[in-house]
Amino acid sequence: MTWEEYRGACLDVAYLAGCAVNGRTPDATRVGGMDPARLYAAAERHLLASVTAAALERAGVKDDAFTQARGRAIRRIALLDADRAAVTAQLDARGIWYMPLKGAVLKDCYPHLGMREMADNDILFDDARAAEVRQVMESLGFAAKQYGVSVHDVYHKPPVSNFEMHRALFGPSHEKRLVDYYAGVKRRLVKDEGNACGFYFTPEDFYIYITAHEYKHYANGGTGMRSLLDAYVYLKRYGDALDGAYLRAELSALALTDFEARNRSLAAHLFGGEALTDAEREMLDYILASGTYGTLQHSVEHAVAKRGRLGFFIRRAFLPYRSMCALYPVLQKIPVLLPFCWAARWIHALRTKPGRVHGVIRAAMRAKKK
């Protein structure tokens, strides 16, 4: 479909999502003019098919693709909830502190089960106990798909149970201000009295975290409408009770005051059914072009804007020592191997991801320094 067709379908998804979370019945005339195939494609791209399905059901519209998407979302949540309970029970038994993140918390802010789709379980844990956590995951039938090379370890158990076990909230590849703010994050957490080792953020700190997390994606490859809807739903539930002075101070410390204000305003207008300003339309178009997890072009454009084209290529080819240690742990013991590890990374990328390498180069050559 063309950009205008896609954009129109995304606006229809936003309208229906707003109806769903606000308990409004969609206008029958507007729903009747929507193209089901385009609507579903846009909703899937932004992981909003289930909440869109809820709005269509409220309008009396039955569509097999949306009905099935909603059923899958509910089943996946049930499976992820059960697996998360099993994992956290084992962490409690071993005395390993942890905190569920993102979708595991946000899904309960939506009006009905299954409205907020989940792709995986994200859990922050005591990174000093990573080897024991791996034992826990493998004892429960999970296979490690990524371990020790990033700020999160990735585990999978068939058919669809995915876990990202976070050693930290932000790492070497992220902006320093985010890394510094969340260093030693446990001091910001509140003990969950309902279990032995669980913790949680206060409502204010959770909102600050999801804002920082959304900004990380927005300022890299981009982020989709689901993040906007998450912020809208969270503020709809907790907004009046949040400590405004604390939020302003902490967002200022993170240099996220402007981003949060623009993001909040766009979400309020978009899902509240109000007209958007020109600046909000521009921001929304960037989000629509990003999809849920962003695009390579957006990621490269931001990097080129920050460092220039030559600086981008140098940074990309010669990752900093800390980032290389995450990929090649041997460097922590033998730093002089750094040049050889750079070479090994280049060879590995060219052999296993030639399309990705060429894509990065093309994106950098098209990007403008702005």
Separation CA 51–CA 16 (nearest Å): 8
Judge if the upstream peptide bond of residue 111 is cis by omega within 30 degrees of 0.
no
Can you give the residue ranges of every domain in the chain? 1-62, 77-293, 298-366
- Domain boundaries 77-293, CATH class: alpha beta
pLDDT computed for residue 305 by the predictor: 73
Residue 287's beta-bridge partner residues?
Answer: none
Which own/partner contact pairs does 351-360 have at CB distance under 8 Å and 24+ positions apart? 356/296, 359/296, 360/296, 360/300, 360/316
Instruction: Name the 3-class secondary structure at 325.
Output: helix
Distances (CA, A) of 136 to 129, 168, 201, 304: 11, 19, 24, 41
Q: What is the torsion angle, in degrees rounded to the nearest 10, for the CA atoms of residue 158, residue 162, residue 166 and residue 171?
A: 110
Strands 199-200 and 121-125: unpaired
Could you tell me if residue 308 is left (phi over 0), alpha (psi between -120 and 50 degrees) or otherwise beta?
A: left
Task: Give me the amino acid identity at 160.
Answer: V
Reported pTM = 0.84
Instruction: Name the 3-class secondary structure at 244.
Output: helix
Is the Cα torsion angle 280, 282, 286, 291 positive or negative in sign?
positive
For 271-299, the DSSP string reads HHTPPPPHHHHHHHHHHHHH-SS--HHHH
pLDDT computed for residue 17 by the predictor: 98
pLDDT computed for residue 323 by the predictor: 75
Q: Mean pLDDT of residues grouped by 10 in the chain (370 residues)?
A: 94 98 97 97 96 97 96 96 98 98 96 95 97 98 91 94 97 90 96 97 98 91 90 95 97 98 98 96 90 55 74 84 79 91 91 82 70
The answer to whether residues 304 and 368 touch, using CB atoms and an 8 Å cutoff, is yes
pLDDT computed for residue 1 by the predictor: 86
Task: Give me the amino acid identity at 317.
Answer: A
pLDDT computed for residue 368 by the predictor: 63
Q: Where are the alpha helices (DSSP H) in the chain?
A: 3-22, 28-32, 36-45, 49-58, 64-94, 103-106, 130-139, 176-181, 203-218, 225-238, 244-253, 257-272, 278-290, 296-317, 321-327, 338-352, 354-366
Q: What DSSP designation does 77 have?
A: H
90, HSE (Cβ side, Cα atoms, 13 Å) = 16
Structure tokens at 200: 């949680």
pLDDT computed for residue 150 by the predictor: 83
Task: Give me the amino acid identity at 288.
Answer: L
Name the residue among 52, 63, 45 with its Cα closest to residue 115.
52
335, HSE (Cβ side, Cα atoms, 13 Å) = 4
Angle, to 10 degrees, between the axis of helix 278-290 and the axis of helix 203-218?
A: 80
